[in-house]
Amino acid sequence: MTGHVRYGLYLPPFGPFGDPAALADLAVRAEAAGWDGVFLWDHVVPAMPPIADTWTTLAAIAQATSTVLLGPMVTPPSRRRPWLLARQAATLSRLSRGRLILGTGIGSDETGDFSRFGDPSSPAELSSRTDEALEIVRAMWAGEAVRHEGPHYRVSLDAAGPEPYPLPVWTASTTRHERVLRRAAASDGIFPLPGPRPLPPAELASLVARVRPPDRPYEVAVSGNASPAWDDPGTVDLAALAEAGMTWWMESLIHFDPLDLSLTVVDAGPPRIGG
């Protein structure tokens, strides 16, 4: 039950990580050290300047690496025009030869990513926009003719060829609201974000039982700090989380972590279960 777990890095492209060249170098080092993925937060307003654009940086990472999976973790479709999101994601998928994972969530206004620009920021509206946007995005990837008249978006597109690579979508969740759980169950994975510590294994198992489809592969990503390379290593029970359904461990690098220390964690490689 524990051999299927993959290991990613999860970090913001601002503060000490605000230099896109430094992020590309970090991804190259991560690949060499045995990490399976590198995933970037997607914000407009940084909690700590400077800030790099997530999508431009991911394109640089795609070019600099060959095996690590990558993607925004997470991007809010509610803050983007869904047809542009669909094109950007499809382009990055092709550029990386199918290594993109699209992490999605309704978004947070904690630093003003919505309100500073006059955009709606209520959770109810963001949730509605997210569901509608993902419907459009998936239809465009499938190459379908899109004739969409919704409460938030209007789209008229002729049919085209489908994207050559699968484009998995993960759903981030900070609540157990029924609408969020339905969105997660319709996705290819879930990324619960409870706070600075991962969910206890029993809670994770309960959540997985509610959203994991019985008839197709499904990813369960959990974030926190488990690397022994930290100055104060955590005591996360990775084996118990894997038994509860975790398929990805996301080692979290935060914007107030010094770059040198973060690179030490990267170079140390993943904190393997039983290692």
Tokens coding 169: 């979508």
Count Cβ atoms within 10 A of the Cβ of residue 53 and give its class: 0-12 exposed, 13-18 middle, 19 or more buried: middle
Q: Is the pLDDT of residue 2 over 70?
A: no
Phi, psi for residue 155 in degrees, rounded to 5 = -140, 135
Three-state DSSP at 102 gives strand
User: 215: domain CATH number?
Assistant: 3.20.20.30
Full domain range(s) for residue 64: 6-268
Record the tokens describing residue 39, joined without a space. 């995933």
Whose CA is closest to 143, among 87, 75, 80? 87
Residue 233 has pLDDT above 50, yes or no: yes
Domain assignment of residue 146, yes or no: yes
Q: Is residue 1 part of a domain?
A: no
What does the pLDDT read at residue 166?
97
Tell me whether residue 100 is in a domain.
Answer: yes
pTM over 0.85: yes
| Residues 6+ positions from 264 with CB-CB distance below 8 Å | 229
Q: Is pLDDT above 60 for 275?
A: no
Strands (E), 135-260: 146-149, 154-157, 169-173, 189-192, 219-224, 248-252
Per-residue DSSP letter, 51: B
Answer yes or no: is 275 within a domain: no
Does 203 fall in a domain? yes
Taken in order 236, 240, 244, 246, is the CA torsion positive or negative?
positive
Instruction: Report how many helices (DSSP H) and strands (DSSP E) the chain contains, helices first.
Output: 8, 10
| Poorest-pLDDT segment among 47-56, 60-69, 233-242 | 233-242
Domain total of the chain: 1
Q: Does residue 175 lie within any of the structural domains?
A: yes
Residue 274 lies in a domain: no
Helix (H) or strand (E) holding 89: helix 82-95
List, for residues 144-181, the tens digit of each pLDDT value. Answer: 999 999 999 999 999 999 999 999 999 998 878 899 99
Distance CA 158, CA 245 (A): 40
62 part of a folded domain: yes
Catalytic residues: 43, 110
